[in-house]
A and B are shown apart, each in its own frame.
Chain A
């Protein structure tokens, strides 16, 4: 296993276009997270999944954003009608959380840098 993979690494799109990013987590991890990071800032939580269920969404996740994790494996994050304010690094992470004996921390991917022109 090579860790958390994100595709593409970079995306440039015109305002108003739709974009979709993919994240492949570590295979044995049951939780998957999306964060957004703007330049010079810390990551901000967007949403997370346990297996295929989306358990929490931030208010940052507007109606133009949708995330899915079909079959509890890879996840996609789609942004519709992109705006310049959507320009950011989108980070994916995964973790293993057990009912007993817990939690082993996040592993992050390298991110997808989105530029909206």
Chain B
């Protein structure tokens, strides 16, 4: 079974600064996807960034980037130039490539506060 762990229940950052959210996962498989989702107070889960395990290059999406360490099973999210709109619950998630399109396994979430 796959597990995902987010060890930081809450994080805060000053507007315009950088913050890193941590995620570790456990799987015996070698081919999988990893995701970061954002859930604002309106509750709709929004995909932030996605990483395919076979790709060594870390994914980036504008101000969002990941540090994917496959051997360590670590997948952290870096948010640069933080904005007030980044405040939300962030979830790390995982699923196997061979079961693409089936269940996602989520971590417990990290509540990010952005201070003006």
Q: Which residues of A contact B (CB under 8 A)?
A: 31, 33, 35, 40-45, 48, 50, 55-56, 58, 89, 91, 93, 95, 97, 102-103, 105-106, 108-111, 113
Contacts and interface: CB of A to CB of B under 8 A. Distances in A.
A89 B109 CA distance: 15
- Secondary structure at chain A's binding surface: helix, strand, loop or mixed? strand
B100 A109 contact: no
Given A42-B91, A95-B101, A97-B100, A106 B108 contact: no
Interface stretch (B12-20, B37-45, B70-78, B80-88): B37-45
A89 B43 contact: yes
B68 interface: no
B45 A108 contact: yes
Given A110-B42, A110-B44, A102 B100 contact: yes
B59 interface: no
Contacts of B107: 42
B46 to A, nearest CB: 8
Contact of A108 (B44, B103, B108): B44
18 contacts: A40-B108, A41-B108, A42-B109, A43-B91, A43-B106, A44-B106, A45-B103, A45-B104, A48-B102, A93-B45, A95-B101, A97-B100, A102-B100, A105-B50, A106-B104, A108-B37, A111-B44, A113-B43
- Secondary structure at chain B's binding surface: helix, strand, loop or mixed? loop
B11 interface: no
Given A105-B35, A106-B47, A111-B43, A40 B101 contact: no
B45 A43 contact: yes
A56 to B, nearest CB: 6
A96 to B, nearest CB: 8
B47 A105 contact: yes
Nearest to B4: A42
A103 B52 CA distance: 12
A56 B91 CA distance: 23
- Chain A CB within 10 Å — which of B42, B45, B47 has the most? B45
A55 B43 contact: no
B101 A31 contact: yes
B50 A55 contact: no
B23 to A, nearest CB: 11
